[in-house]
């Protein structure tokens, strides 16, 4: 038996725009193992493990994916200065103009989401530090 698991994830970005993502996953029933268990196990390993343990797990169970991740890391390392320059340009562009005038929509949207995530993290950290300081 085959079935398709589909769904939508909806969220709102910092500007109040509604964002929606769709996902599809084919699940094939196998006599040797219940597909839902295999599917849940895979999701658990990918999303619940910390990165160090997950990489060790991948090295043992999925060498192809482990190799692809390592190749991607090497590529990122080889372009570290380019990535830092793009990040700096985007931040300065946003500070000067209040929006993005360089690069493409995909990079601009992703960076804006990253920027607001950073702001949220900073606010949470300040709040937590303030509460910790008051409790001492």
Tokens of residue 130, six digits? 């303030």
Residue identified by tokens 């094939």 is 28
Query: 63-106, pLDDT tens digit by residue?
Result: 999 999 999 999 999 999 999 999 999 999 999 998 888 899 99
Task: Please give the mean pLDDT across all residues of the chain.
Answer: 80
> Strand locations in the chain, DSSP E?
2-12, 18-28
Residue identified by tokens 């969220």 is 11
State the DSSP H helix or E strand holding residue 71, giving kind and residue range, or none if neither.
helix 63-78
pLDDT at 18 over 70: no
Burial (CB count within 10 angstroms: exposed 0-12, middle 13-18, buried 19+), residue 90: buried
Query: 70 near 64, Cβ under 8 Å?
Result: no
Question: In the prediction, which pLDDT does 89 show?
Answer: 95
Q: Residue 126: pLDDT band by 50, 70, 90 thresholds? A: very high
Q: Residue 53: pLDDT band by 50, 70, 90 thresholds? A: confident
pLDDT at 3 over 70: no
């Amino acid at each position: 038996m085959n079935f398709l698991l589909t769904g939508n994830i909806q969220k709102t970005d910092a500007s109040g725009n509604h964002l929606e993502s769709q996902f599809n996953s084919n699940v094939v029933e196998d006599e040797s193992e219940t597909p839902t268990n295999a599917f849940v196990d895979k999701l658990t390993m990918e999303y619940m493990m910390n990165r160090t343990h997950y990489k060790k797990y991948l090295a043992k169970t999925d060498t192809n994916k482990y190799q692809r991740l390592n190749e991607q890391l090497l590529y990122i390392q080889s372009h570290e200065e380019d990535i830092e320059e793009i990040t700096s340009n985007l931040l300065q562009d946003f500070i000067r103009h209040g929006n993005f005038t360089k690069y493409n929509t995909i990079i601009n949207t992703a960076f804006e989401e990253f920027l607001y995530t950073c702001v949220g993290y900073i606010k949470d950290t300040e709040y937590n530090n303030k509460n910790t300081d008051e409790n001492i």
